Amino acid sequence: MSHFGKSGPPDIRDTYSLLVLNITFRTSADDLFPLFDKYGKVVDVFIPRDRRTGDSRGFAFVRYKYAEEAQKAVDRLDGRIVDGREIMVQFAKYGPNAEKIQKGRIVESSSKTTSRRSRSRSPRPRHRDEYRDRDYRRRSRSRSRSRGRNDRSRGRERDHRRRSVSRSASPDYRKDRKKGRYDEERRSRSRSYGSASPPRRSPNPSRSPSPRRTSQRAESADKGNNNERSPAPKSVSPRAQPADSRSLSPRRSDADE
DNA sequence: GTTGAGCGTT
């Protein structure tokens, strides 16, 4: 079992966060701990997982106590085959709590004694850059096709995932857009986070399902929805449309919950 | 059981 993350962040006062990408979905922190611990003192290993499924997202964060060890780990473990997959180890750019991170090092307002340690990353920024650049470019091709395979798909997933709880998501906007399977995920997520928020955001007792929807829909389409990517309002048969039954689900569930 | 760009929790 992983004792990491159970107690939260131990100490991010002088730790260096490393981001491990491209790891398998079944790779746990315990599997990465011994691997990274061999190259240095690992303070904490954390693997972000999904809220609903609880499955790994495919990347992990490894915090080292010293940058030199972290740097070595990055150089040694970057591109290493773990669990049959090539992992990518690099310094974290963003902090957990919007902390100030420089080259993977988390600097707080209290930490002002970074003069001596500053030389750790100063000596060889160029050398490592060139060295990594060459190696990075070689295996970059492998990931190139994966990345450039479908930008649209990537953006979609990333958007829906990164946005997390859509704070700017309007009810009308949500209803207008027919997501699909993500709809249930969003609803489930909203409900989870909606502990402090009222479960029902649409306290409209008298809502007409069919007639109201049609009129609103026609109006929207006539307004400016034309520009949107909904060229086919009813191009398929309602009977043979699975999405239609899903569209009707939310309403019932909303009222039920 | 699946997927594959990226940046994190008590």
| Most confident of the ranges A17-31, A98-112, A116-130 | A17-31
pLDDT score of A12: 63
pTM: 0.48
Around A31, how many Cα atoms within 13 Å sit in the side-chain half-sphere? 16
Percent pLDDT > 70 in chain A is 36
Q: What is the pLDDT of residues A4-35, one digit of tens each?
A: 645 665 666 678 899 999 999 999 999 999 99
What are φ and ψ of residue A44, in 5° steps? -155, 145
- Domain architecture of chain A: domains with CATH: 16-91 (3.30.70.330)
Say what the pLDDT of residue A231 is.
43
Closest C1' nucleotide to A99's CA: B8
CA distance A245 to A60: 38
- Token pair in block for residue A56: 């790994």
**Strand B neighbours among A 189-208, CB < 7 A:** none
CA dihedral for A88, A93, A97, A100, sign (positive or negative)? positive
Q: What is the pLDDT of residues A247-257, one digit of tens each?
A: 434 444 444 53
CA–C1' A197–B5 (A): 32
Q: At what angle do helices A125-147 and A67-77 cross, to 10 degrees?
A: 40
- Measure the CA–CA gap between A77 and A171, rounded to whole angstroms: 46
Q: How many CA atoms lie within 13 A of A133 on its CB side?
A: 6
Using the predicted structure, report yes or no on whether residue A60 has a pLDDT greater than 90.
yes
What does the longest C-alpha to C-alpha distance in chain A come to? 72
* Cα A184 to Cα A90: distance, rounded to the nearest angstrom: 35
A79-90 exposure pattern, b = at least 16 Cβ within 10 A, e = fewer: beebeeeebbbe
Residue A205 has, within 13 A of its CA and on its CB side, a CA count of: 0
Residue closest to sugar C1' of B8 by CA:
A96
